[in-house]
């Protein structure tokens, strides 16, 4: 089990990490989301909503956290149109968005249940926000699960919409869209 005082250092994920990330996702979903979602909802979301997004890895915007060489957390951000989901159903590359007119997206956070509530999510968020600002974005949006809402709220994100994402079998996954301004535009600072 991870140490409580551990300082986590996220690193950029690579193609070699895909099998470990793919193994972590169902462990995280089944181990941490049961308070908010039924078993049927979690299983229906696995593979579609909750799955590896190789595009984030290719873009260099996805991070992993390791403990003794084992990936125990992952999450990232995107400069692309999609707000959630993995590779399934996507045809080709998702279009890039304009950092001056559209928000970056925080995407696909998963933590191994044995390492939950030990600061891994916070370290991933800090890495994402730093990279988002460096890429020229000032606004961020998240299509959050109910499980992740408290983490994002602790970073100053506010809920702007609650909605149901459609799942196979006529099920829905309650979600919350959250937003935050990370940096004020230069024009506003100079006025």
Q: In sequence order, what E strands does 80-187 have?
A: 104-111, 139-145, 158-166, 172-181
> Which uninterrupted H or E stretch holds 28?
helix 18-32
Give the per-residue pLDDT at 89.
62
Half-sphere exposure of 114 (CA within 13 A, CB side): 10
Q: What is the CA radius of gyration of the chain?
A: 16
Give the per-residue pLDDT at 190.
43
Question: Could you say which architecture CATH assigns to the domain 11-82+96-190?
Answer: 3-Layer(aba) Sandwich (3.40)
Q: State pLDDT tens for residues 145-176.
A: 999 999 999 999 999 999 999 999 999 999 99
By CB neighbour count within 10 A (0-12 exposed, 13-18 middle, 19+ buried), where does 41 fall? buried
Q: In sequence order, what E strands does the chain have?
A: 11-12, 62-67, 70-78, 104-111, 139-145, 158-166, 172-181
Low-confidence ranges of the chain (pLDDT < 70): 1-6, 87-91, 183-191
* Cα distances (angstroms) measured from residue 80 to each of 83, 188, 190: 8, 26, 30
Strand ranges across the sheet with 139-145: 11-12, 62-67, 70-78, 104-111, 139-145, 172-181, 158-166
């Amino acid at each position: 089990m991870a140490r409580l005082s551990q300082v986590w250092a996220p690193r950029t994920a690579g193609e070699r990490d895909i099998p470990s990330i793919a193994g972590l996702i169902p462990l995280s979903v089944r181990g941490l989301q049961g308070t908010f979602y039924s078993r049927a909802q979690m299983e229906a979301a696995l593979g579609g909503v909750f799955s590896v997004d190789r595009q984030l890895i290719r873009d260099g915007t996805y991070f992993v956290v390791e403990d003794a060489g084992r990936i125990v957390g992952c999450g990232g951000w995107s400069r692309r149109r999609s707000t959630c989901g993995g590779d399934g159903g996507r045809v080709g590359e998702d279009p890039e968005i304009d950092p001056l007119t559209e928000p970056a997206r925080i995407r696909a956070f998963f933590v191994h249940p044995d390492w939950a509530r030990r600061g891994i999510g916070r370290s991933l968020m800090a890495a994402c926000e730093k990279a988002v600002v460096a890429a020229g974005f000032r606004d961020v949006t998240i299509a959050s699960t109910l499980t992740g809402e408290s983490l994002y709220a602790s970073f100053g994100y506010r809920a702007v919409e609650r909605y149901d994402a459609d799942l196979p079998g006529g099920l829905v996954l309650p979600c919350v869209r959250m937003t935050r301004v990370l940096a004020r535009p230069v024009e506003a600072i100079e006025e």
